[in-house]
């Protein structure tokens, strides 16, 4: 099997229900270049199964102590987590995480040596120019207070909210200008190159459209990542580019 540098982030969200199912799912996706992000309750069991894939968290908190229900990035680091999804639209909108909260989480993840996978994306389908404005504003607000020299350690996930979980994936033509604006923005801010990936209804049928483009460094997969057959197909296709 060939290898390349494309990242495949598997965001299981609040799935599956049992440890047995989580283990089976992890076994299918345990391939080089894959970052498996199970719910926190399954991080330990998934960590114990992985030989080739990396472990990612879907969240994390910036402090330790009297914060019932939370877990810190340092704690995540100590159980083998290497990446953390931060600022996913479901956290922004369902759990009221604003850019200040997201910025604090990014700083804390970086301090714990965890690579943040920072999600940004416009809510509604609009013109490309207006989407670029919205996304860059959201990005810069989320990166406030982050030392410039650390920006290169961030992975950016461009996820138009209208494409998440809807089956209406964005076309390559729609995302290229936005990915390029994101990369240019970070280059202008810090002189660093970053990896930028796409997320939003990625499936075995459409994944190649994105990953064959050299400027797209991978994909963030939600729904399809909890289906063993779909996950296996997505990984196979990308690894054989």
Residues lying near ligand PGA in the complex (CB under 6 A): 11, 159, 164-165, 199-202, 220-224
Residue 168 structure tokens? 């209406």
Query: What does residue 97 show for φ and ψ, rounded to 5 degrees?
Result: -80, 115
- Nearest approach, Cβ of 91 to ligand PGA (angstroms)? 10
Nearer to ligand PGA, 196 or 202 (CB): 202
User: Of 97 and 159, which CB lies nearer to ligand PGA in the complex structure?
Assistant: 159
Whose CA is closest to 10, among 43, 38, 39? Answer: 38
Task: Compute the least distance from the CB of residue 206 to ligand PGA, in Å.
Answer: 10
SS3 157: strand
CB of 159 to ligand PGA, least distance (A): 5
- Annotated catalytic, 88? yes
What is the number of the residue whose Cβ is closest to ligand PGA?
222
Cβ-proximal residues to 171 (8 Å cutoff; 6+ apart), any chain: 209
Instruction: Give Cα separations from 19 to 53, 151, 162 (angstroms).
Output: 18, 36, 31
Nearer of residues 190 and 206 to ligand PGA, judged by Cβ:
206
Residues 8 and 6: their CA atoms lie apart, in Å, by 7
Active-site residue among 44, 64, 88, 149? 88
Which residues does the annotation mark as catalytic? 88, 159
């Amino acid at each position: 099997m060939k290898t390349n540098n494309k990242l495949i982030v598997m965001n299981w969200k609040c799935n599956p229900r049992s440890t047995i199912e989580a283990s089976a799912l992890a076994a299918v996706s345990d391939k080089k270049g894959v970052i498996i992000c199970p719910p926190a309750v399954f991080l330990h069991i998934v960590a114990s199964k992985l030989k080739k894939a990396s472990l990612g968290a879907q969240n994390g908190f910036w402090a330790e102590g009297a914060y019932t229900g939370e877990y810190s990035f340092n704690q995540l680091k100590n159980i083998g987590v290497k990446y953390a999804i931060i600022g996913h639209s479901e956290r922004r909108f369902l759990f009221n995480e604003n850019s200040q909260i997201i910025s604090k989480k990014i700083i804390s993840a970086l301090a714990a040596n965890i690579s943040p996978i920072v999600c940004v994306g416009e809510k509604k389908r609009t013109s490309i120019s207006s989407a670029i404005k919205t996304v860059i504003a959201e990005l810069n607000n989320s990166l406030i207070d982050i030392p410039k020299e650390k920006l290169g350690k961030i992975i950016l996930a461009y996820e138009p909210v209208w494409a998440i979980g809807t089956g209406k994936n964005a076309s390559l033509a729609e995302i290229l200008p936005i990915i390029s604006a994101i990369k240019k923005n970070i280059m202008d801010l810090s002189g660093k190159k970053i990896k930028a990936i796409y997320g939003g209804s990625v499936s075995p049928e459409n994944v190649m459209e994105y990953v064959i483009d050299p400027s797209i460094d991978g994909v963030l997969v939600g729904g399809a990542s909890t289906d063993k057959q779909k996950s296996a197909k997505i990984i196979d296709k990308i690894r054989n580019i």
